[in-house]
A and B are shown apart, each in its own frame.
Chain A
Amino acid sequence: MKNILIYLRLGLRNLLLYPMRTGLTVIGLGIGIAALTFLSAMNDGWLQNMKLNFVLTQMGHVQIHAQGFEQSRRISDYMGDTTLVDEALQSMQSMQGGIQAWSHRIRVSGLASAAGANASVLVSGIEPEREKDVSRLHTFMQQGTWLQPGDKRGVVLGDVLADRLSVGLGDKVVLMAASPDGDIASEVFRVRGLIHSGVMDVDNLLALIPLKMAQHWLHLGAGVTDVVIRTNSFAVVDSVVSNLQQRLSGKPLEILRWQEIDPMAEQWTMFAEIYTWVVLLVVIIVVLAEVLNTMLMSMHDRVREFGLMAALGTTQQQLFAMVVYETLVLVFIGGILGFLLGGAVSLYYGEYGLDLSQYATAFSFMYMSSVVYPELTFNGCARILVAAMLGAVLAGLYPAWKASRLNPAQAMREI
């Protein structure tokens, strides 16, 4: 459009002609967009935080199992020998291939009993020292101590589980589970520590024992069910997985990304996506509601002026464009204000965190921390800006159409 600058300038000046009306609209828009920017940053921060909690609580970024274990969850689908896997990981780690740490585990569901009380448990045989580099489990110690090397019969329990069994530090717990050959094996352990993570699966179910003890108890030899890998970041997960697939191709193994390990992860992504669309929709609605009214009011005051401009030879398209530009300018200014405001709040809480501990229990099963750190992303802001501009165009269309349709003779008679 040739005359874009004239009409941008006219639009801007017309907005400045009514500083009060324009100011109120801009402030309304600014507050709306600020709130939505903040909500979007909260969502991103939450998601990031949930992903990290999910992965670092115990899942790891990548897991390697014997083929079929993810499906069956049967201990008989175990890996008898991890030498090849360990070698591959070792060489990738030494080549800066994105591997931060890895450790071995045996996972089996079973039953715990103590002094007459029973509870189902998820027994997890871990390497106490290597585990510290992979997951945060050791940081959740609430009472007692982490598993010590050489302490064969130590067990660390989730605090809710311990409660159910009415056991405390030093008490005996009998764990029962089926070995790969189908025998039910039971063994006595002593409670060394209690953990509280805020994640139900951990606190209600987990019984951590030394890997060596689990292998011996369940007759697995050197076998494990999981190799749990922590990568340097989420960004390298895909390349790590494809690298591993290459190195271990042809072996009866499954290599899973964190998203594939728990269906919940997929649900979050979907939830986050829906949430994003809802936020964008609300942005459009806020802009529409704020701007349509203002523009219609402003059109009403300027009918005669539109008539005049049309009479002088301004074309319908030019009048149409002028009104649309005016709404764009209005929304752009409001949007900038909103981004500054919402961005400042997001950055502040991104630094200091937003404490939601009052609601934490309700959310804990979703791996949410009680303190959220909003994350302001370029993409998040760009999406909102695009939605706001779309709303502006939509809000401008009707008044613009009205303005361009005016019969100049009629318009100039209006008082």
Chain B
Amino acid sequence: MSDHVLLEAGGLCKYYHSGGSDVAALDQVDFQLEKGAFTVLSGRSGSGKTTLLNMVGLLDTPDMGSLHIAGENVLALSLSERANFRLQRIGFVFQAYNLIRVLSARENIAYVLQLRGMKKTERLAIADHWLFEVGLDGLGNRRPDQLSGGQQQRVAVARALASKPALVLADEPTANLDSVHGESLMSLMRDLNDRCGMTFLIASHDPVAMAAAQQCVYMQDGRIVSVATP
């Protein structure tokens, strides 16, 4: 694996049994991600985007295949080592229900930093900085249910970035947003990618997201069928 490759997956397979038949959610997926990439993973519903993100994010284990992230064979890690790897290296933006309900926006952003053992004043200062970055200045004390869907999504982005992870995984980050907010969220992420050099892998079939992509990976029936660089 060369220096500029952040992630390399080979022959990834994941099968689900549902209703008596086997579904190959991932079928021999070979996949590479370079450092600093801004890649959008698209494809029809059920094509395996979320499944691939889950494997890459160490949220689930493939039934077959190999996976290296930052040079490390992550499939060999124990459960608690995986948790720690996620904590230290990966930022997540999920499609929905991204936030811990009982924590305020800034506490949600600071949560990962808190798990990393950062001091309170320091982590809250960082949280406030990222609230500002995502345009939620002054809303830090609101609980998730006091924020709009778009605002919640931006808090999730702020959380994913505040810990300066090597890799940010986002699953349908714009799905709950109107096109205006979707566009502003995408340009925000793109901007952070440009400025901070963080690597993004975004699953989305939203044209708005695809328009912002540096690279588009298409999936169909658990396979990668094409890779395009617009």
Contacts and interface: CB of A to CB of B under 8 A. Distances in A.
A284 to B, nearest CB: 29
B117 A316 contact: no
B102 A13 contact: yes
Interface in A276-335: 304-305, 308-318
Interface in B83-122: 83-84, 86-88, 92, 94, 97-103, 111-112, 114-115, 117
A314 B60 contact: no
Contacts of A315: 80, 83-84
B54 interface: yes
Contact of A305 (B80, B87, B101, B115): B101
Contact of B117 (A2, A10, A14, A314): A2
B83 A410 contact: no
B102 A313 contact: no
A308 B94 contact: yes
A412 interface: yes
- Most chain A C-beta atoms within 10 Å of own C-beta, residue among B88, B100, B103: B100
B97 A311 contact: no
A14 B79 contact: no
B57 interface: yes
A311 B84 contact: no
Nearest to A314: B115
B105 to A, nearest CB: 14
B211 interface: no
Interface string A401-415: 000000111101000
B59 interface: yes
A312 B86 contact: yes
B115 to A, nearest CB: 5
A305 B83 contact: no
Contacts of B117: 2
B93 to A, nearest CB: 11
A47 to B, nearest CB: 46
A344 interface: no
B80 A312 contact: no
A330 to B, nearest CB: 15
B83 A17 contact: no
A309 B100 contact: yes
Interface string B48-72: 0000001001011000000000000
A412 B97 contact: yes
Contacts of B79: 316
A6 interface: yes
A16 B102 CA distance: 9
A17 B102 contact: yes
B97 A313 contact: no
A311 to B, nearest CB: 6
Contacts of A308: 94, 97-100
A305 B100 contact: yes
A312 B112 contact: yes
B86 A17 contact: no
Nearest to B89: A313
A2 B57 CA distance: 26
Contacts of A6: 114
A317 B115 CA distance: 13
Contact of B102 (A3, A10, A304, A310): A10
8 contacts: A3-B115, A14-B102, A308-B94, A313-B84, A316-B83, A407-B59, A409-B54, A410-B60
Given A6-B114, A408-B60, 15 more contacts: A3-B114, A10-B103, A13-B103, A305-B100, A305-B101, A312-B86, A312-B112, A313-B84, A314-B115, A315-B84, A316-B80, A317-B80, A407-B60, A412-B94, A412-B97
The 8 A-B pairs at the shortest CB distance, nearest first, are namely A313-B87, A13-B102, A409-B60, A409-B59, A409-B54, A313-B86, A408-B59, A315-B83
